Amino acid sequence: MQDNFLKIRNLRTYFFTRRGVVKAVDGVDIEAKRGKLTALVGESGCGKSVTGLSIMGLIPSPVGKIVEGEILFEDKDLAKLSYKEMADLRGKDISMIFQEPMTSLNPVLTIGHQVGEPLRIHSSLSPEEITERVLSILDLVGIPEPRSRLKSYPHQLSGGMRQRVMIAMAMICGPKLLIADEPTTALDVTIQAQILDLMLELMKKINTSIILITHDLGVVAEVCDEVNVMYAGKIVEKSDVFSIFDNPSHPYTWGLLRSIPRIGKKGKAKKLYTIKGVVPNLLDPPSGCRFADRCDKARDICREEEPPFTTIEEGHFVKCWLFA
């Protein structure tokens, strides 16, 4: 495996709430390769966003806490950096974009000001140089007439344009890693296609690696290189994108893929495949495999002991007793 410049080992991020400890991320291993688009896919509450926030050091303390594990980025362990050291990294080497571009932008500051913000923090460029850089990045993310947009406020832009501004802000320092948390979920399909296209283009131009957090397997299939499927706080299957879609092996991955209606399929299917039941409560997750209660193929051992990661093809790992 070449050049895993981000390695997450046994990450556990817990939330200590009134009702008990929510084990949102419970022993997650992820690698991201340089120049690749790595997907973290799962349903709501599976811990994918919390994993992203853990990398960014943005877990709301004191409720949430990384209790174990390491996040190796190049040669630093992000989980052990001080707040100050992490702040120096954020926006410069690692940046993040979120689902909701309206609430992620400050409504009372101009676009030009906000996009230039990371440069003001992380560089010693003069205001004129910063404006130049802002103009060129706005142009790069496809905002028409960037000069006239410098003085605009977020509410004057459409949803798609706001997400472009967010991307410009995240990309202006040329980060090595971009974490995109459901960047297209709030957008219309035709706009989503534009933004995904833009992200792929920027990845090549700025030489950034991306971790894409999403629930949409369609988006994953369209743009990602590597896929990590997450369920109830754990990674259950990981592989390159072709192998996982051609040969989905964990019953959860398999079920998910089967339960999406396919567009334009001739002759309507009578029924969709469904995964029975609901996701387990992370306050009190089942012992053994967390998917066991919903799995058709579950045996006794599945409920008793957590399955290990098993290699089924080169680079394709599954956490399931069927293969162990």
Partner 1 sequence: MENALISTKNLTKIFHLSTGPLGRKKVFVHAVENVNIDIASRETLALVGESGCGKTTLGRLILRLIEPTKGEVLFKGENIFSLDRERMRSLRRDMQIIFQDPYASLDPRMRILDILAEPLKTHNKDMSKREIVERVKELLSVVGLQEFVMSGFPHQFSGGQRQRIGIARALALNPEFIVCDEAVSALDVSIRAQILNLLMDLKERFNLTLLFITHDLSVVSFISDRIGVMYLGKCVEIGPTADIFDHPLHPYTLFLLSAVPIPDPHARDRAKLILEGDIPSPVNVPSGCRFHTRCPYLRDVCVSEEPQMQYIGNRGFACHFPLY
Partner 2 sequence: MEKEKSLAHETLFEDVIRAFKENKTALFGLIVVVILVVLAIFAPYVTPYDPYEIDLNNRFLKPSLNHWFGTDMFGRDLFTRVIYGARISLAIGLIPSLIAVSIGAVLGVISGYVGGRLGYWVMRMADVVMAFPSLLLAIVVMYTLGATLFNLFIALSVVGWAGAARVVRSQTLSIREKEFIEAAKAIGVKDFKIMAKHVFPNCLPSLMVLFTMSIPDAILSEASLSFLGVGAQPPTPSWGLLVSNGKEFLFSAPWVAILPGLAILITVLAFNFIGDGLRDAIDPYLKG
| Contact set with partner 2 (CB under 8 A) | 15, 17-19, 22, 24, 44-45, 49-50, 60, 63-64, 282-283
Nearer to partner 2 by C-beta: 93 or 293? 293
Contact at 8 Å (CB) between 68 and 29? no
Contacting residue, 44, 82, 124, 148, with partner 1 by CB under 8 A = 44
Using CB distances below 5 to 8 A depending on partner kind, what does residue 49 bind out of partner 1, partner 2, none?
partner 2
Contact at 8 Å (CB) between 183 and 212? yes
Q: Does the footprint of partner 1 cover residue 7 (CB under 8 A)?
A: no
Nearer to partner 1 by C-beta: 108 or 189? 189
- Listing DSSP states for 21-49 in one string gives EEEEEEEEEEEEETT-EEEEE--TTSSHH
Using CB distances below 5 to 8 A depending on partner kind, what does residue 266 bind out of partner 1, partner 2, none?
partner 1
Q: Does the footprint of partner 1 cover residue 2 (CB under 8 A)?
A: no
Kindly state the smallest distance separating residue 45's Cβ from partner 2, in Å: 6
Q: Which of 164, 192, 170 is nearest to 101 (CA)?
A: 164
Contacts of 207 (CB under 8 A, 6+ apart): 35, 174
Strand order from edge to edge, sheet including 177-181: 94-97, 177-181, 209-214, 37-41, 226-231, 234-240, 316-319, 309-313
Contacting residue, 18, 128, 268, 314, with partner 1 by CB under 8 A = 268
Q: Which of residues 167-196 bind partner 1 (CB under 8 A)?
A: 188-194, 196
Nearer to partner 1 by C-beta: 259 or 287? 259
Q: Does the footprint of partner 1 cover residue 16 (CB under 8 A)?
A: no
Q: What is the dihedral of CA 100, 104, 107, 108, to 10 degrees?
A: -170
Contacting residue, 262, 297, 299, 308, with partner 1 by CB under 8 A = 262
Using CB distances below 5 to 8 A depending on partner kind, what does residue 107 bind out of partner 1, partner 2, none?
none
Using CB distances below 5 to 8 A depending on partner kind, what does residue 273 bind out of partner 1, partner 2, none?
partner 1
Query: Where does residue 191 fall: left (phi above 0), alpha (psi -120 to 50 degrees), or beta otherwise?
Result: alpha
Q: Does the footprint of partner 1 cover residue 159 (CB under 8 A)?
A: yes
Nearer to partner 1 by C-beta: 201 or 304? 201
Q: How many residues does the chain have?
A: 324
Q: Does the footprint of partner 1 cover residue 82 (CB under 8 A)?
A: no
Q: Tokens for 269? A: 């299917």
Nearer to partner 2 by C-beta: 50 or 135? 50
Q: Does the footprint of partner 1 cover residue 228 (CB under 8 A)?
A: no
* 201 residue type, one letter: E
| Pairwise CA distance, residues 183 & 213, whole Å | 8
Nearer to partner 1 by C-beta: 147 or 258? 258
Q: Does the footprint of partner 1 cover residue 255 (CB under 8 A)?
A: yes
Residue where the block lists tokens 């002991």: 305
Q: Does the footprint of partner 1 cover residue 275 (CB under 8 A)?
A: yes
Alpha-carbon radius of gyration of the chain: 21
| Pairwise CA distance, residues 15 & 290, whole Å | 19
Q: Does the footprint of partner 1 cover residue 102 (CB under 8 A)?
A: no
| Pairwise CA distance, residues 86 & 101, whole Å | 23
Kindly state the smallest distance separating residue 189's Cβ from partner 1, in Å: 4
Which residues bind to partner 1, rule: CB under 8 A? 43-44, 158-161, 188-194, 196-197, 215-223, 241-242, 245, 255-257, 259-266, 268-269, 271-275, 278
